[in-house]
């Protein structure tokens, strides 16, 4: 009898997994914050795309397309925007999505997101004249209303129920009710273990084919499970090879040869725009408060060694002299010679004439972020070869983030260099790219200060003529290389790996889980 019960239990366990279509995913990081408005973390953003829907989306060609919105209009003076929601939109608790929910959601997002904050400086008020519409009243005309509402990456203006969106912007929300294609299974969420998303059977997708974050969000899976426990790169590869999981969002670069050799596994790039690496100098303190020393460092830090060490796979990286990423509107090699046409000997000469006094360079190395872990080692070696004294300090990424905000001298808990990576859209123009801001202590970590650079950026912001904008972007880049704001270190892609029977990956800034089929 007892044996019978045992068999029954075993049987139940096997059949449950056979009947449900479950997609088992190893996401790129841990999911610990469930409020995509409160934090800019990409994991929270991806969680948001599961659970919430957006007013507009950005398609593969970077055009804004309606998503929850059916039709919209703007008044002749461009100051009143009226939007109508498409029919059939409902939250997971079955309540319809109304204009009031939208207004409350936009208000909360407008307090956190940088672009949202900017939009709100134009907004006079917002209201919902009827349950299925909302209006935005502007003080003066504003050219990026749709771009802001269809923003594809953090913070994405996700639409939440009014009662949730009324949570103060500086507090995290408690309720993951959305109107998106999946429902968050709160009772199954085990931090550091797994997060479960169940198909929202009531979701009404648009009719257009999916493209980026726009188009129809068709769901073919019953459940998507994020495995948050499986973080060892080798174990991920083993588990995928054995079919214990279906997708690895960001395999370690070291894993690709093994993945590509496995005939049951495919490597798919769903983010063709790719990423750019950079190392940032701290302009406040010695030795990098000296422009000539920064130039010597920049000359030492040619891109190929970084890319080869960190990425290693030729097809996955390329050198790119542009600070605004290559093959994009403002991608150009202008002014980059000091880095792109350099070598160690040149760097050694530059350093000798710079007045460098042997102050050690403190480089912060995160030990728990495989995607950028080797950059600091390469920087250290190249700088040493150029004649610098280097103090490579290892710490976890959390400490890097805490410490890079400190303006103290390196000896008192500050720093000289840290390295990071950006998604292309975050840095592809002189306004978005935080590294070329030069407002001193008001700028992004590293705090360069340069009146000329700021003047050029200001001109760029006012300019509307596209060829002139391009010329200005080139001048900005030339100036930025001249004062050595930072060292761009080339571009790379980081394709996902999946079992061959998983198809239909959508291209986008993050990993999106609609349209995916598992045969």
Query: What is the binding site for other proteins (CB under 8 A)?
Result: 6, 9-10, 12-14, 30, 32-33, 39-41, 114, 170-172, 174, 190-194, 227-235, 237-239, 241-242, 244, 252, 254-255, 257-258, 305, 308-309, 312, 344-345, 348, 365, 367-368, 370, 374, 377, 380-381, 384-385, 392-396, 398-399, 401-402, 405, 413
Backbone angles phi, psi at 171, to 5 degrees: -115, 150
| Cβ distance to other proteins smaller for residue 149 or 230 | 230
Min dist CB 52 to other proteins, Å, is 19
Number of residues in the chain: 519
Q: Can you tell me the distance from the alpha carbon of 102 to that of 164, in angstroms, rounded to the nearest whole number? A: 11
Q: Can you tell me the distance from the alpha carbon of 143 to that of 139, in angstroms, rounded to the nearest whole number? A: 13
| Cβ distance to other proteins smaller for residue 211 or 303 | 303
| Cβ distance to other proteins smaller for residue 26 or 198 | 26
| Cβ distance to other proteins smaller for residue 191 or 329 | 191
| Cβ distance to other proteins smaller for residue 315 or 368 | 368
Closest by alpha carbon to 111, among 38, 163, 44, 161?
38
Min dist CB 239 to other proteins, Å, is 5
- Do residues 371 and 489 lie in contact, with contact meaning Cβ atoms separated by under 8 Å? no
Min dist CB 170 to other proteins, Å, is 6
| Cβ distance to other proteins smaller for residue 93 or 396 | 396
| Cβ distance to other proteins smaller for residue 377 or 482 | 377
Min dist CB 361 to other proteins, Å, is 14
Min dist CB 138 to other proteins, Å, is 25
Q: What stretch of H or E contains 100?
A: helix 99-112
Min dist CB 510 to other proteins, Å, is 16
Exposure on the CB side of residue 346, measured as CA atoms within 13 A: 14
Min dist CB 194 to other proteins, Å, is 8
* Two structure tokens written together for 57: 């989306």
| Cβ distance to other proteins smaller for residue 84 or 260 | 260
Min dist CB 365 to other proteins, Å, is 7
List, in order, residues 6 or more apart from 92 with CB less than 8 Å away.
177, 178, 179, 183, 200
Q: Is 326 left (phi over 0), alpha (psi -120 to 50) or beta?
A: beta
| Cβ distance to other proteins smaller for residue 99 or 152 | 152
* Two structure tokens written together for 422: 């950006």
Taking residue 387's Cβ as centre, other Cβ atoms within 10 Å add up to: 18
List, in order, residues 6 or more apart from 179 with CB less than 8 Å away.
52, 53, 68, 89, 90, 91, 92, 97, 159, 203
| Cβ distance to other proteins smaller for residue 338 or 344 | 344
Min dist CB 342 to other proteins, Å, is 12
Min dist CB 395 to other proteins, Å, is 7
Q: Can you tell me the distance from the alpha carbon of 476 to that of 483, in angstroms, rounded to the nearest whole number? A: 11
Tell me the residue ranges of DSSP E strands in 182-341.
182-184, 194-199, 223-227, 247-248, 265-268, 275-281, 317-318
Exposure on the CB side of residue 52, measured as CA atoms within 13 A: 28
183: β partners: 198
């Amino acid at each position: 009898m007892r044996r019978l019960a045992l068999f029954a239990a075993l049987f139940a366990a096997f059949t449950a997994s056979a009947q449900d279509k479950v997609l088992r995913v190893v996401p790129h990081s841990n999911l610990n914050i469930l409020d995509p408005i409160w934090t800019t973390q990409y994991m929270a953003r991806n969680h948001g795309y599961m659970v919430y829907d957006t007013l507009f989306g950005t398609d593969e060609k970077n055009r804004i397309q309606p998503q929850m919105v059916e039709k919209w209009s703007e008044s002749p003076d461009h100051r009143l925007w009226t939007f109508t929601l498409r029919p059939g939109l409902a939250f997971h608790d079955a309540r319809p999505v109304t204009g009031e929910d939208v207004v409350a959601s936009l208000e909360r997002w407008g307090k956190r997101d940088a672009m949202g904050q900017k939009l709100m400086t134009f907004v006079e008020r917002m209201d919902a004249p009827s349950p299925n519409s909302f209006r935005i009243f502007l003080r003066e005309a504003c050219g990026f209303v749709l771009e802001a509402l269809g923003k594809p990456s953090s913070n994405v203006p996700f639409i939440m129920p009014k009662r949730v969106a009324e949570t103060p912007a500086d507090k995290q929300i408690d309720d993951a009710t959305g109107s998106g294609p999946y429902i968050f299974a709160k009772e199954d969420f085990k931090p550091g273990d797994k997060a479960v998303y169940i198909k929202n059977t009531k979701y009404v997708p648009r009719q257009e084919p999916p493209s980026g974050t726009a188009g129809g969000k068709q769901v073919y899976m019953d459940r998507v499970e994020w495995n948050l426990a499986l973080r060892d790169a080798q174990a991920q590869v083993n588990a995928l090879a054995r079919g214990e999981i279906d997708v690895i969002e960001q395999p370690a670069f070291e894993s690709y040869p093994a993945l590509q050799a496995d005939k049951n596994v495919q490597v798919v790039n769903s983010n063709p725009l790719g990423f750019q690496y950079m190392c940032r100098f701290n302009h406040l303190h010695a030795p990098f408060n000296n422009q000539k020393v920064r130039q010597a460092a920049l000359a030492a830090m040619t891109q190929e060694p970084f890319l080869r060490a960190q990425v290693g796979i030729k097809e996955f990286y390329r050198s790119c002299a542009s600070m605004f990423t290559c093959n994009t509107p403002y991608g150009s090699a202008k002014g980059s010679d000091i880095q792109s046409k350099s070598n160690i000997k040149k760097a050694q000469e530059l350093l000798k004439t710079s007045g460098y006094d042997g102050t050690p360079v403190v480089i912060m190395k995160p030990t728990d972020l495989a995607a950028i872990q080797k950059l600091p080692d390469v920087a250290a070696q190249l700088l040493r070869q150029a004649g610098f004294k280097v103090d490579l300090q290892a710490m976890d990424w959390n400490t890097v983030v805490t410490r890079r905000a400190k303006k103290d001298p390196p000896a008192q808990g500050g720093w000289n260099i840290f390295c990071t990576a950006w998604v292309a859209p975050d840095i592809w123009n002189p306004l978005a790219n935080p590294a070329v801001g030069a407002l001193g202590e008001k700028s992004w970590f590293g705090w360069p200060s340069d009146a000329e650079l700021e003047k050029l950026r200001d001109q760029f912001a006012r300019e509307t003529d596209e060829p002139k904008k391009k010329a200005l972007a080139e001048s900005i880049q030339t100036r930025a290389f001249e004062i050595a704001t930072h060292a761009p270190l080339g571009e790379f892609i980081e394709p996902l790996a999946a079992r061959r029977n998983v198809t239909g990956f959508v291209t986008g800034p993050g990993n999106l889980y609609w349209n995916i089929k598992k045969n």
